[in-house]
Amino acid sequence: MDQSTTKRNKLIINLLLISAFVVILNETVMGVAIPHLMKDLGVTALAAQWLTTAFLLTMAVVIPTTGFLIQRVTTRRLYVIAMGLFVIGTAIAAIAPGFEVLLLARIVQASGTAIMLPLLMTTVMNLEPHETLGRRMGNISIVIAVAPALGPTISGLILSNLNWRFLFVFVLPIAITMLIVGMRRLHNVGKTKKVPIDITSIILSVFGFGGIVFGLSSLGEMSAGGNVALLFVPLIVGIVALVAFVSRQITLQRSDRALLNLQTFKTSTFTASILMFTVSMMGMFGVFILLPLYLQNVLGLSVLNSGLLFLPGSLLMGLLAPFVGRMYDKVGPRPLLLFGTTVATAALWALAFLLQENTSWVTFLVGHIVFSIGLAFIFTPLFTSSLGSLPKHLYSHGSATVSTVQQVAGAAGTALFISIMSGIVATAVSNGASQAEGFAQGIHTALMLGAATLSLSIVTAFFVKKAKSSAGAPVAH
C-alpha cells in the first residue's frame, strides 16, 4: 500500500473516530441531568431515565439495518445521513419545550448515532492492516467505552452553571463542523451493491428489542405496586418477536437476503465475545446511571462535584486503551480479558457493599477508578477478537451485531437497574425510611445485581481467542 493511500485511510478512520466520539458521548449525558429534569420538567426518575433508555433502544432498533445500509450506500453518503440526523436531533433537543419533544429529539439523535458506530467499525476492519488492528481497536474503545464514561463529567460541568439545554447547545456546533468536514474530505471505502431489505425483519426487531426493554423498565413500577401486566405483556411480546426475528434471519441468509446475517455466530470467538459484551455493557451502563444518583441524592453532592468525580476514571480508561491495544497485538485477548473482568467485578462488589448513606466520596472515587481500569482491559480485546474472527464478507453484519447487542444490553441494564432501585426506594420510604436512606438501599441492591452479572464474564473470557489474519483490504477512493 503506497504512502498516499495510507495517509488517505488514516484520514478516513480519524474523521470517523472523532465523529463517533461526539455522537456516542450523548448516550450518557442525561444521567447526571436526571435530578434537574425531574424538577424542571415535572417527571419521575422512571420517566426521566427513558431519555437514556430510548436513545439506546433506538440504536438497537436501527443498528440491525446498517449491515444492509453499509453494503448499499456509499461511505460518504451514509456519513452525511448519520451526522445530519444527529445534528437535527441535537437542534430539536436544545429548543424542546417539554419532556415529550425532548424524548423525540433523543430518538432522532440516536438514529444518527446508530449508523455511525457500525460504519466506523466496518471501515476500520476494511482499511486497517491486521498486525496493527489491536492498536486501532484501542482507539475505537476510547470512542465506545470512554465517551459514555465522560458523559456524566461533561454533563456535570455544564449543569453546574447552565440550564440542561446547554448539554445540546455545547455539542451542536461541533456536530455541524464534523458534518461539513465529512462532506468535503471523506472518501468512499469499497464498492456498493444492491441488496434487498426485509421490512418484516425490521418490524420484528422493533417489537423484539422494544418489548424486552419496555418490560424491564416497568420493573420499578411493579415493585412499587404498579400493574404486573406492564412487565409481563411487553416481555412476552418482545421474546416472541425476537425468536421470530432470529428464525427469519436464519431462513433469509440461505439466499443472502438477511437483514442481519447470523452466520457470524458460527465463529466460537465471536459468540463468546458477544456474551461478554452483553454482561459488560449491562453492568457499565447500569453503573453509569446509578452512581450520579447516589452522589447527588445520598451524599448530597452538587452536580459539578458529581461530574468531576467521574473524570479521573474516565481519563484513565482513555489513556489505557491504546496501551491495551498494543498489548493485544503481542499477547492476545485472554490474559487481558481475565485481568479486566476480575478487576472490574471486584471493584463493583466493593462498591456495592461500601457505598452507604455516610460513605466518603474518596471511597467512591477509588472504586470508580479501579472499575474503570478493569473496563479498559475488556473492550479493546473484545472488539478486536469478535470482528477479527470473521471473514470479510461478514464484517458489516458483525459490526451491526456487536453494536446491536451492545446497545440492547446497555438499554436493558439501564432500565433494569434504575427500575429495581426505584422500586426499593418507594418501598423503603413507605416503610418510614428517609429519601436518602431509600436511595442508599436501592443503589446497594442494584449494584449487587451488576456485580453478579459482571462476574459471569470472567468465565466467558476463557473462550475468547485472538483473531487470525485475513486477506488484504479494499482501498478508499
Closest CA to 97 of 42, 57, 20, 17: 42
pLDDT grade, residue 470 (50/70/90)?
A: very low
Q: How many CB atoms lie within 10 A of CB 127?
A: 22
> What does CATH list as the number for 3-463?
1.20.1250.20
Closest CA to 13 of 66, 79, 72: 79
Helix (H) or strand (E) run with residue 81 in it: helix 75-94
- Mean pLDDT along residues 143-150: 71
Angstrom distance (rounded) from CA 10 to CA 303: 38
**Taking the alpha carbons of 383, 52, 215, 287 in that order, is the dihedral positive or negative?**
positive
Residue 385 grid coordinates: 477478537
- Mean pLDDT along residues 157-185: 88
| Distance from the Cα of residue 465 to its chain's centroid | 23
Angstrom distance (rounded) from CA 323 to CA 96: 41
Residue 230 has pLDDT above 50, yes or no: yes
The reported pLDDT for the residue numbered 472 is 42
Model confidence over 319-332: pLDDT tens digits? 888 888 888 888 88
CA distances from 457 to 306, 330, 405, 416, 420 (A): 29, 22, 15, 18, 22
Angstrom distance (rounded) from CA 63 to CA 58: 8
Eight-class DSSP state of 164? T
pLDDT grade, residue 91 (50/70/90)?
A: very high
- Highest mean pLDDT (candidates 51-55, 215-219, 347-351, 358-362): 347-351
Burial of residue 443 (number of CB atoms within 10 Å: 0-12, 13-18, 19+): buried
The reported pLDDT for the residue numbered 86 is 95
The reported pLDDT for the residue numbered 450 is 83
Residue 84 has pLDDT above 90, yes or no: yes
Angstrom distance (rounded) from CA 316 to CA 308: 13
Q: Which residue has the higher pLDDT, 343 or 17?
A: 343
